[in-house]
A and B are shown apart, each in its own frame.
Chain A
Amino acid sequence: MGYCSILEWIFFRPWDSIKESGYCPYSDYNLPYMIGLRLSEIILGFIGWLINIFVPSWSPENSFLLSPALLNGTAVVLEVVIIFAVGFIINLTMIWEERKILGRTMDRRATMIGPLGYFQCLGDGLKTFCKENIAPRAIDKKVYWWALSLVIGSSVLIACMVPLSDRWYIVNYDAGLMVIFGLFALAPFLILSAGWAQNNKYSLIGGMRAAELMISYEVPMLIMLATTCLMAETYTIGGIVKAQFDTVWYIVPQCLGFFVFLVAAIAESERVPFDLSEAEAELVEGWQTEYAGMKWGLIMLGDYFRGYTACAFIVILYLGGWMLPGLGCTPVPELVFIGKVCLVFAIFAIARGAYPRVRTDQILNIGWKVLMPLALVNLAFVIVLKTVGWF
């Protein structure tokens, strides 16, 4: 017993021994969990080594710091942080991308701070963070705060539940698509209640418009989801991606469906031209009118998280997910996935620069008279394909 070298404190355990320890929540190799585990091994080992300098009886063998239970617990916490941080960075990249594309479509410069203007979003975040936290007096306080936190929370939750590859996920659901879309469709209810709670006519109109928007696009979108699941014969995200690698990207047989899903996804993430509930020009930010300062900043961040989820689902359902045709899983499937998401988001951003906002009376027509028949035609086509046995 005595002083132990730092190398005896910090050492990396192989994946098999971790799996056998019984504390690991994953049966397959999981990259963010492994990064979290390595980080916790380094951090806890370093703390143990520091203590060992002063307390020589404290050795790697009998220290609870290096016990598998504590290591795994820390690893899971760090994994969650890593997954959120990566989602956050993707989000910042997408905001930067959108602002750049909007600037170019309007023939002007866009963001300026930092390399290629990348740090502008951070500056804006800091600015909104420094603002005073104001809430009106005549609000329904409980609903006001809960609706806000749930809108932001559900947006971030679904964004973090999107797997970046078959080794980068939090939980591998059997019905992953169903769960994520169930949470995705939660926001309009919360927006409606937030609009009601603010005691403001603009907010109320905004919330009602969100509900109207949901009635019109949700059904064709779910039909498209069912069509793709029918084609891949599975509800798991990994299964859909693998089915596309085995045959072709589903954008080829389902180009009609891709278009319908694209429009519905723009509407789902409440972006221009379907930003009826915000409608800055008519409704002064709609349901967000009374949410000032950092509350608004977080709502905007949540909007972009929803936009990211919508793009991610277009990539998963139609563009082959993290796989490339012929190459399969490249060494960095996560980067392939993020690259595809950014390409799809470019379409979103150009659409924002190109189209005027849809009127409230037009949105139902678009949803039920255009998107719905197209979705059904696509479903029928897929059923024919499955019957013939080509897929």
Chain B
Amino acid sequence: MPYKFLNKYPKKFRGTGIIVPFGMAVKRMIKSTIHRPVTIMYPYEKEWVPDNYRGRPGLRFEKCLGCGICVRACPTTCIELVDVTDDKGNTVKRPQVNIGRCMMCGYCAEYCPVDAMTTTTDYELAEFNRKDLIYDPHRLAFEGTNEMMEVHISEHLLSNLAKGITDKPVAFFETDRPVLDDTKCISCQKCAKVCPTSAITMVVVGTNAKGREIKHPIIESSKCVSCENCVINCPKAALKIKEVL
């Protein structure tokens, strides 16, 4: 029996089963005539897109520090830090995105410490060649960026949610910050040079046997954004991030 839905009818009246699909079709027709079909005529009319839509990444140029967290967070490695000139004529580092490789995950916006990277509502990204798919930092700017386009790291403990606590678990006195292993530091000052927020100041802590000054980095916790640039660039691995557990 090819029509399984007929099985629920008594055998005598199975011939009337042709009414069921007809009735279904009429019902669907009336419904979609009253409420309009679910499809839309795409190039002429577009669906409403919420502000937190994960479209292409956008950049607020002035807010960006050039720390490079987005570069490290990107799963497809489509972000690259490039040198550009800002409005004042200074050369600064800003992310450049290869949209052809971007998978719109929004991790760059999520991990950005100052929320300079955002997701945008722009999803029509077709171009005629691959070169046009590379968005330089100025082109990444999106008009009408608002706070809904920012993506925040919001981690919740399931046990807290079960108790009805929706606040973010934040440690008030400690956050993840780089700490120094004094014995390894060679006073090279590289960490202070690479710090995008200039949170690191070198402080003289003494003199060595040859009479030269020994400098150790002091990290100002209020300025630090935990970008790990100092940790990566330290030649002797004297710095490491201390995680708050």
Contact = CB atoms under 8 A, between A and B. Distances in A.
Task: Answer whether A and B are interacting partners.
Answer: yes
Interface of A: 101, 103-109, 112, 350-351, 353-355, 370
Residue from A101, A104, A106 whose CB has the most chain B CB atoms within 10 Å: A104
Interface string B22-35: 10111011011100
B29 A355 contact: no
Contacts of A101: 29
Contacts of A104: 28-29, 32-33, 37
Contacts of A370: 15
Contacts of B39: 107-109
A350 B26 contact: yes
B15 A103 contact: no
Given A108-B38, A354-B24, 19 more contacts: A101-B29, A103-B37, A104-B32, A104-B37, A105-B32, A106-B28, A107-B38, A108-B32, A108-B39, A109-B39, A109-B40, A109-B41, A350-B25, A350-B26, A351-B22, A353-B29, A354-B21, A355-B18, A355-B21
Contacts of B28: 104-107
A107 B22 contact: no
Query: Which size bracket describes the interface of B in this complex?
Result: 10 to 19
Nearest to A353: B25
Nearest to A350: B25
Contacts of B18: 355
Nearest to A112: B41
Contacts of A112: 41
A106 B28 CA distance: 7
Residue from A103, A351, A354, A370 whose CB has the most chain B CB atoms within 10 Å: A354
A226 B32 CA distance: 41
Interface in B173-195: none
B25 A354 contact: yes
A107 B37 contact: yes
A351 B32 CA distance: 17
Contacts, number: 43
Question: 9 closest A-B pairs (Cβ-Cβ)?
Answer: A354-B25, A354-B21, A104-B29, A108-B39, A105-B25, A105-B29, A353-B25, A107-B32, A354-B22
Contacts of B25: 105, 350, 353-354
Contacts of B15: 370
Contacts of B38: 107-108
A108 B24 CA distance: 16
A350 B39 CA distance: 20
A354 B26 CA distance: 9
20 contacts: A103-B37, A104-B33, A105-B26, A105-B29, A105-B32, A106-B28, A107-B28, A107-B32, A108-B32, A108-B37, A350-B22, A350-B25, A350-B26, A350-B29, A353-B25, A353-B29, A354-B22, A355-B18, A355-B21, A370-B15
Interface in B35-52: 37-41
A353 B229 CA distance: 63
Nearest to B28: A105
Interface string B97-108: 000000000000
A99 to B, nearest CB: 13
Contacts of B37: 103-104, 107-109
Interface string B113-145: 000000000000000000000000000000000
A103 B33 CA distance: 10
Contacts of B31: 107
Nearest to B31: A107
A55 B188 CA distance: 114
A335 to B, nearest CB: 23
A106 B18 CA distance: 18
B14 to A, nearest CB: 12
Contacts of A105: 25-26, 28-29, 32
Nearest to A352: B25
Interface in B46-93: none
B36 to A, nearest CB: 9
Interface in B1-32: 15, 18, 21-22, 24-26, 28-29, 31-32
B75 to A, nearest CB: 36
A31 B30 CA distance: 38
A112 B44 CA distance: 11
